[in-house]
Structure 1
């Protein structure tokens, strides 16, 4: 196998024997084969679209299937075989409809590919993965940019899939997805063309995050600053991990009046900030555990059922596998999978009622309850923009830092904790995504009535952070890059790639990225990004703080 799409690749180069995420060679090959089949589906969808044939459902399927190939989403080889069959069935049906419409133009070879359904399927996937390199015709920079574009696209369609669940979509975004998939094999594009395509992924990822923001706020209200307990309460319990707030809402509806307390885990912490979700579901109580890479410890100790809604799933330990359920694009062989856009959570509910839950002795009673604040999305922060502006003008706020992104288990991520701890007391820290769990429970105090640590939300709420920056830039009548704002980001998987491309598309400069730079960026591509956008690697907290505040 060969995979370098995440930050934790072996030796910083790529995983060759077994994925650092726990993905095996066979699953890796099936994922690559699925991507190849989706690339063959793309020109068929574009032709059907041009002829006025309905393609929206197929576009949504493409997004979900590509989402499943992201790091730590799906490890189930059988599920990937199903996705491949479904993609081929949709392609063949669409080709028949196009022929019936009178278009008999021959298809490219990739659009007529049929795998051999035997024991060689994995090796066919390995061959398909090599084609992307061969199509770059030996140009390592073009290969690097193709990977950057593909990985950014994977992150973008993940957000688009969540938005689709909430009734939000943009047919132009779907069209762009198919265009990129169809162009991955293009041998006529130069380095500059691929840079432009990668930045276009960033542009459309901004649209995907906007759609998801509209879906969340239109359904559950705009987030408001909300304290979230970090301590448990006695009783039966279900833990919900991942990012999918609609699946969380569905489970809350099905557990209403069932005597079960629902806790969030990982990137679902910001769900507590949505007022309609909280008002309708008093049994959504608190947050348990921290970031995804700690789930082996968190899940083993949790005394109830656990539902994983999106990435990031780690290969589970047998001790807690029987109480673990997956939905959506998530899967692992042997785990119970709850199918459908609106899953029936009854098996998870039954497991929660069977398990002991938290005993009274488990609940901390000898000290004040611990909690954290979440819900500082764009409306909440810009709603007090006058206070922020006055604090800056009066010198009470010297600088803003956006410190967040994807967390991970690889050594070196303590940088972010140390950085936040050393931020001067006259500075504000905005944070988002699971990177915040390095410091989310620290009490940094206030500047006036403004907390110095503000949780903007999930990784997709980079949209909120951007809106905050744009709003403040407008209020000060300056450009975003002139704001007293520094971005210090951590990355792990492909959603982070998509968000980074969005920031670059918007022209935001001087971003610090770590803990290491992507292995799929060639030296020349990295030089282009460094020269154009001053993108740089993190160094040490002290040195980077000094540079930001200079």
Structure 2
């Protein structure tokens, strides 16, 4: 086993026995083998496009397969066995179609003719023998760039899959993924070409996030400022965590009139700002903080728990019977809700559990500051900057995690001067989301832009402000203080680089898959740097 795709990778270099995330070595081998199989499928998909043959089923499945290799997804080996077999079956069926259309399927790359072992043990051995990451390239720097792009594509696949679920697709995304996956079956690429492919990943991801934004806002309306209770309401309860708005909508519909209150957790918090979701009277509030506290919070929740998107941690035996998962998430021993999204097992479990015995008031937080809301008061923001009421903007966001050092972000926000605004998004905000920081001219100093999926909204805010001030984004009084954990953060960083955004501070540690020479390229071209040892150091450097 070798895996170094997340921030918490063992010893800051790579997991070699079992993942810090809990991923077993056999699953790591199967994920590598699945990625390899998708490379073979991609070679055929590229050949098909050359003769005008585009198979949407192949495209959609490719997203699912690549998404399945993200950190903390479904660690069921049997599921990966099924995905690998389906990948090869789709590859072979597509070959027949390509030949019929007049195309060529004569490939030298072994991935195009890879034959999966008949047994699960055999597949695991194939994955182990593959040693996929280490064999991407013999050159450390070229291998680093390929890893950055492969991991970026896993994040891209996640965003594109979310968008496709809401009916938003664009062939340029599938084309890029297949062409790049096919390209990485070869060696000999130069530094410049590989840098280009990594930047292209960020560029394509901007399109994916735009589609996802269109799907979310087109289906559920633009978020509006909304007070979200942090306490509980007496009665039966279901907690939903993850990212998937469609799953939340279906759960709300299926629980109407059943006497069950729905609570969000983690990245589901921003959903309270969407008009078409918050209209449900039993959509009550938010429970807990972010995933670093799940081990403490979830056993205290007296109802059923539903994971959507990537599952964060393996549930303890004390509450495992109360946990359900959808789609790509979860552990083998949990109850998985099928593609029909019938939440009856979740509902029945919630009705069987005691729920909350009494109302509790733990205050509230304000969400709903997507681009429409923020740009709706852009004139006030611009005037406040001109009058020096607002000195600087900080975007403090990204992933959360349990590794020591993330208290930096809480302390940073606490120490930001009162004449500065803070925009935040993604689960990293749960280090400070409930801080009462006051306002500037009636505008809250802490603005929750939304999920990590809403990075597009934050980018549009920055671009619009730059337009209003007739300057570039890099000339704005704006600093980005980002935390990362997994591959969606990797592709968002690539998106920022593709837009030419500079002076990004990244932590709590730098990716293990970035070689020293590649890091130098990022520093020289984008002035990207690690966060300082203390928030005071960074604030002094930024504000002077």
- TM surpasses 0.5: yes
Quote the residue 1:283 is aligned against. Answer: 282
CA deviations over 1:163-195 (Å, ceiling 9, x no partner): 000000001111111111111122131111111
Match of 1:375 among 368, 391, 396: 368
Q: Which runs of 5+ in 2 are unaligned?
A: none
Quote the residue 1:266 is aligned against. Answer: 266
Q: Do the aligned residues in 1 keep the contact of 2:311 with 2:330 (CA within 8 Å)?
A: no
Report deviation, 1:258.
1.1
CA deviations over 1:29-81 (Å, ceiling 9, x no partner): 11111111001100111222333334112111111111111101121111111
Quote the residue 2:257 is aligned against. Answer: 257
Report deviation, 1:105.
4.2
Match of 1:436 among 405, 429, 433: 429
Report deviation, 1:369.
4.5
Quote the residue 2:144 is aligned against. Answer: 144
Please give the alpha-carbon distance, in whole angstroms, between the structure 2 residues aligned to 1:398 and 1:196. 36
Quote the residue 1:113 is aligned against. Answer: 114
Report the more deviating stretch, 322-331 or 218-227. 322-331
After TM superposition, the structure 1 = structure 2 runs for residues 105-184 of structure 1, keeping only pairs within 5 Å, are 105-108=105-108, 109-118=110-119, 119-130=121-132, 132-136=133-137, 138-184=138-184
Q: Does 1:344 align with 2:342?
A: yes
Distance 1:394 1:289, change over 3 A: same
Quote the residue 2:207 is aligned against. Answer: 207
TM-score by length of 2: 0.98
Local SS of the residue matching 2:125: helix
Local SS of the residue matching 1:41: helix
Report deviation, 1:333.
0.9
Report deviation, 1:296.
2.0
Local SS of the residue matching 1:120: helix
Quote the residue 2:306 is aligned against. Answer: 307
Match of 1:421 among 400, 414, 425: 414
Quote the residue 1:334 is aligned against. Answer: 333
Quote the residue 2:536 is aligned against. Answer: 542
Match of 2:401 among 385, 389, 408: 408
Local SS of the residue matching 2:134: helix
* Runs of 4+ deviating beyond 4 Å: none
Local SS of the residue matching 2:131: helix
Q: Do the aligned residues in 2 keep the contact of 1:56 with 1:171 (CA within 8 Å)?
A: no
Local SS of the residue matching 2:135: helix
Local SS of the residue matching 2:239: strand
Please give the alpha-carbon distance, in whole angstroms, between the structure 1 residues aligned to 2:54 and 2:298. 43
Local SS of the residue matching 1:227: strand
Quote the residue 1:358 is aligned against. Answer: 356
Local SS of the residue matching 2:479: strand
CA RMSD of superposed structures (Å): 1.2
Q: Do the aligned residues in 1 keep the contact of 2:199 with 2:494 (CA within 8 Å)?
A: yes
Local SS of the residue matching 2:15: coil
Quote the residue 1:93 is aligned against. Answer: 93
Please give the alpha-carbon distance, in whole angstroms, between the structure 2 residues aligned to 1:395 and 1:103. 63
Quote the residue 1:226 is aligned against. Answer: 226
Please give the alpha-carbon distance, in whole angstroms, between the structure 2 residues aligned to 1:403 and 1:440. 11
Please give the alpha-carbon distance, in whole angstroms, between the structure 2 residues aligned to 1:285 and 1:228. 8
Please give the alpha-carbon distance, in whole angstroms, between the structure 1 residues aligned to 2:378 and 2:401. 33
Please give the alpha-carbon distance, in whole angstroms, between the structure 2 residues aligned to 1:216 and 1:337. 24
Q: Do the aligned residues in 2 keep the contact of 1:163 with 1:211 (CA within 8 Å)?
A: yes
Local SS of the residue matching 2:355: coil
Local SS of the residue matching 2:424: strand
Local SS of the residue matching 1:454: strand
Report deviation, 1:294.
2.0
Q: Do the aligned residues in 1 keep the contact of 2:158 with 2:488 (CA within 8 Å)?
A: yes
After TM superposition, the structure 1 = structure 2 runs for residues 385-404 of structure 1, keeping only pairs within 5 Å, are 385-404=378-397
Report deviation, 1:385.
0.2
CA deviations over 1:250-295 (Å, ceiling 9, x no partner): 111111111110011110101001012112x111110111112322
Report deviation, 1:135.
4.3
Q: Do the aligned residues in 2 keep the contact of 1:402 with 1:429 (CA within 8 Å)?
A: yes
Local SS of the residue matching 1:91: helix
Please give the alpha-carbon distance, in whole angstroms, between the structure 2 residues aligned to 1:395 and 1:107. 62
Please give the alpha-carbon distance, in whole angstroms, between the structure 2 residues aligned to 1:89 and 1:113. 11
TM-score by length of 1: 0.97
Please give the alpha-carbon distance, in whole angstroms, between the structure 2 residues aligned to 1:537 and 1:101. 51
Please give the alpha-carbon distance, in whole angstroms, between the structure 2 residues aligned to 1:201 and 1:315. 31
CA deviations over 1:195-239 (Å, ceiling 9, x no partner): 111011000111110000000000000011111110010111111
Q: Which runs of 5+ in 1 are unaligned?
A: none
- How many residue pairs match? The answer is 541
Distance 1:337 1:549, change over 3 A: same
Q: Do the aligned residues in 1 keep the contact of 2:310 with 2:330 (CA within 8 Å)?
A: no
Q: Do the aligned residues in 2 keep the contact of 1:403 with 1:431 (CA within 8 Å)?
A: yes
Local SS of the residue matching 1:15: coil
Report deviation, 1:27.
0.8
Quote the residue 2:44 is aligned against. Answer: 44
Local SS of the residue matching 1:133: coil
Quote the residue 2:29 is aligned against. Answer: 29
CA deviations over 1:301-347 (Å, ceiling 9, x no partner): 1111111111242111111111111111113111111111x411111
